[in-house]
Amino acid sequence: MAVKGSVLITGASGGIGSAAARLFAMNGYATAIHYYSGESRAQNLAAELASAGCEVMTVQADVTDAAGVKAMFAACEKRFGGIDVLVNNAGAALQKLFCDTTEEEFERLFNVNVKGVFHCCRAAVPGMIRRRYGKIINISSIWGVAGASCEVCYSASKAAVIGLTKALAKELGPSHINVNCVAPGVIDTPMNASLDTDTLASLVDATPAGRLGTPEDIAAVIYFLAGGQADFINGQTICADGAFL
């Protein structure tokens, strides 16, 4: 299979990340599958894609740790010669009353959801600037746009990702690097599996599309933003939510 370019997808052992990894790999991208704790899922995904003739590798890192992220990018550089597309998908969630949220929980959300994006972008950008090309797609949430009760700190962290996206796009635009954001709606992923049946039913009722989104729905938007057809889309937040908002 001819290689189109290279992509690193963080959190690729999860629902949206694994769907994105499959889509990129099956369409000719050399694909780095990042995981933090989901080693078996990442390795199984890599084996599945390799058996289909795809160029893949797995990389482990804690995205909150700058040294670990630097080592991850060095491994990708050695294998693929650099990263053309970065998908910042790794994230943490928390559903809790604001007054019950601890400082440690707040810090964890911002460390993973914001500092993780910062570390990965900082590691990717120098090579993209040298090549004068790159695509960065950050994964936020509709709650980062609208806010959600009982998810105040999560919403705040995802809003920060949107702000980072807009500002970085302006800074990197002259170097022909696009930075965009996808804000998924309610998606049928393991992260939402803890919601009870009534809650899920009410979320479906509130979605004009009449269903939960799928990981593949979001992967398709990510893949579009990584392609040449999206070269003039920069600094934007795409809400893929079935008209929920």
User: Residues 54-95: pLDDT tens digits?
Assistant: 999 999 999 999 999 999 999 999 999 999 999 999 999 999
Per DSSP, helices labelled H in 81-214 are 103-110, 116-131, 142-146, 152-172, 197-205
Describe the crossing of helices 66-80 and 116-131 by its angle, rounded to 10 degrees.
40
Query: Are the CB atoms for 118 and 164 separated by under 8 Å?
Result: yes
**Whole-angstrom Cα distance, residue 220 to residue 229?**
13
Please state the domain extents for the chain: 5-239
pLDDT of residue 2: 67
Architecture of domain 5-239: 3-Layer(aba) Sandwich (3.40)
pLDDT in tens, 199-233: 888 889 999 999 999 999 999 999 999 999 999 99
154 is an active site residue? yes
Which of 35, 36, 154, 223 is flagged as catalytic? 154
- In this prediction, residues 120-127 reach a mean pLDDT of 98
Only one residue has tokens 């938007």, namely: 221
Kindly tell me if the per-residue pLDDT of 190 is higher than 90. no
